[in-house]
A and B are shown apart, each in its own frame.
Chain A
Amino acid sequence: MGLRDRLYQQGKNTRTLLLGLVGLLFVFTAIFYLLERDREMPAYLVTNRVLLFVLWYVNVVLILAILFVLLRDLFKLFLERRHRILGSKLKTKLVATYVGLSLFPVLTLFVIATELLQGSIDRWFATPVRPVLEQGNAVAQALIDRIQTSCSSAARRTLVDLGTVDLSREAERERLAGRLREMLTENDLDFLAVYEGTDFVQGVVDSRSGISDLPEPGRDLLGEAATEGRAVRTVEPPGGRGRLVLAAVSGTPGADLDAAEAAPSPKPDAAKKEDPLAPDPAEPKPRIVVAGSLLDPVLAERTERLIEAFQSYRQLEVQKEDLRASHLLIFLMVTLLILLASTWTGLYLARRVTVPILALAEGTRRISDGDLDHRVEVPADDELGVLVASFNRMTEELQKSNRALQTTNERLAEERALVAAVLENVAAGIVSIDGAGRIFTCNGAALQMLHQREDEVVGRTAAEAWSDPERSKLAALLASLPDPQAGRDRRSAREVQMVVGGDWKTFEVKVTPIRDAAGSRGRVLVLEDLTELIQAQQLAAWNEAARRVAHEIKNPLTPIRLGAERLLEKHRRGDPEIGPAIEEAADIIVREVENLQGMVDEFSRYARMPRPRPAQLDLAKLIDETCHLYRDVKVGVPVVCEFGGEPLPAVWLDGEQIRRALINLIDNGVEATDPPGTVTVSVEVTEGHLEIHVADTGRGIPAESKDKLFLPYYSTKGRGTGMGLAIVHRIVTDHHGTLRVEDNRPTGSVFTIELPLG
């Protein structure tokens, strides 16, 4: 059954519950009414067999209904628990609690009340009523017996007295009335009559008795008397009050009635006859005398009441078990009705509580599956209703957030795709490294530059990805930089040369610290292949150098050639003054050759410049000593050292090479500055770097010359070898530093040597 069906069912259950309660109220009212009426009903109706069976079957039906309700729900709970349906455990606890709370008190009450009821019934019959009633009944019966006996005796005496009188004769009949009246008075009777068979002969009534008419003894009395010889009845007198006790005695005229009186016995022949009063021509009709005595109305009533009371008591006694069963069944029925109602209500309430919980669980499942349009619809107005409303609000907020997130994700995905496309299409190689030091991304250009596949790089640390001797220069470069997690990392740029894919490559590597979304610091490496550019620059530089070398070589060669030609001409002419000319030419040749020798030595020195040998160096002292050399070199152009307030850190540098670089820069500055002017040497320590600035207030450097300034044999001075700045640049580069030139303000130039610390 789906959740919607359950909710519909719950609504239907509410109506059913109301109807059930109304029905139960009606049933209880009816039972209460019946119990009230039960007091007025005779016991035999209460213990009626049909009623007992009906009650029992009602109880059986109720027991079956309770069992059905309980077993059905228990079975459903069992299945739910077996299938691990959410909420089944809670439902089990609720059902157990509700049913337990219903069963225990009701059954306890039933047991106690049953015992009380049975005890009460036993106590009713334990009271000494029976002896009293029994004695009263015996007295009443004895009184009636005595009257009957008295009447029988009077009737018999009358029968004896009549003797053989032939009552068929009219005269005898007339005398009979008087005789009967005498007998009535003598025997203190109220009624006396004579019958021949069923034929009435004569009868008299005591006028004082209040009997208005002659009583009719009835055919059965006469018949019994004819059959048995004697019969008695107690009848209501005609028009009179009280009870008339009749006794009939029969006899055959002429028979020995005295003997018959002593031992009256049934007449064998008469007993065999179908109708003893039927006329038999062979036999005379039996003579029957009926004597009646009126029982005083008050006495008669009391007597009858005594008898009836005793009978009622005996009836109750006989019906004791039935009565007990009847009451127990009624009580059991009420108990079962209460039990059924409470059990059913308990189960219903358990369902009512668990349905919203199940709906919430279902909602949670649907939402976890991504169905954010789902809403829990449970018509609950209690705390569960609040919970459901909160759940729906939460889902709504979640849906809004999810939509916003989706929009953002889509935008981010677009941007990421755009960035990825850009990164893939840029010429520069871009490698990102996360906070843990692992390579996060590596674009195609980087992979192409480094001749690697993506799976060889991505997800690995730099040391793992670039473990071979050549690529390890990149890892070493990263390792030489400050730890980005310490927050001291800064942008840096290096040139790294390595053999990749069999080719000698020069890369410019720019390392930039970044911070990811989690706050972790990583790096971005931008690789730029400078190989071709440098090759072009070198080619241009060598062209320039060759041009300058050729120019420089050509300069001394001209005087040498001119001197040699003049000597040859003097010799051909036989000039006698050839001796001084030879000396002059030899001087020129020697001087120019010495110039050539110096130039070649300088070039050799540049070419053979050794690798730097770093050692711990007191840079301040070195700078101060170098400045001191130029203190008085040019009047009006002092060389000033500025170190700031803080002491310089100890650095590892090749002191001689750094000194040579500084001398070249200061020498150029002094030479380029006309008095009055200043050459200032200052040092600045930044995060992880050391910067040495050499600033002059001279002529400055034209913009078009700045690109070629550090090339060998390039000079703006028109004299010198043009190797000075080339050597400075070589020294700085060998120390993993950079050299740059900027314009000074207001005039002059600033050369900056940037060296890494540590």
Chain B
Amino acid sequence: MMLEFLLLLLVGTLAGVDLVSGPQVLLARPVVVGTLAGLVLGDPVSGVLVGGVLELYALEVLPVGSTRYPDHGPGAVAAVWLTSQLGSASAGYGILVALGVAEVGGWSLQRLRRMNGRALALATPALETGDVRIAAALQWTGLGRDALRAVMLTAGGLLAARLLFPLALAQPEAGEVLAVVVLAMGLAGAVAGAIRTAGRDWRGAVLALALAAGWLLGGRVGAFPIRWGW
């Protein structure tokens, strides 16, 4: 139990750090984080399912420069945990927790940047002397702050999921309605992101075809993900 918790914290921390500090190689994306959390819990189906739904929201986001964007990784860990405990009926609750954590995550990133700024202001006189070690110190402390931020977000998400546990257990029908809502809003986000990126030229037609093909494929294949063996 303790090892599981520590591994989940590790997955959430890797995801949080990967978003901005680096190496920025998809470890922050919900579908990857969800799958890793699912593997830790011995339930990769829930991991891919929850991560996949949260990924719809992440597809809207272009993480450019100083803009505020949500941090979906740490919350995905909590969502997968809740779903693996109570089954698919609770996924809606878990995803709702993850969306809340992602919002707090976006806010915390801005706080982190301001904290980095304060550390920079303090270090500026030494930096002006040309001391190379100052840059290393700023980089390492920045990385440490980001890791701490991600640990706190992951732990906070798991705590919120634990608090929602009794409600999710008592009201599975509400979970079903929640699932429809989060799926629909996620799809709206993914399509909005794709429209903004594709523009209104011929790529818009490609997008329309892709959306139609995906919908038909989803109906033909059945529940996402299929029950692959592992």
Q: Do A and B bind each other?
A: no
Residues on B facing A (Cβ under 8 Å): none
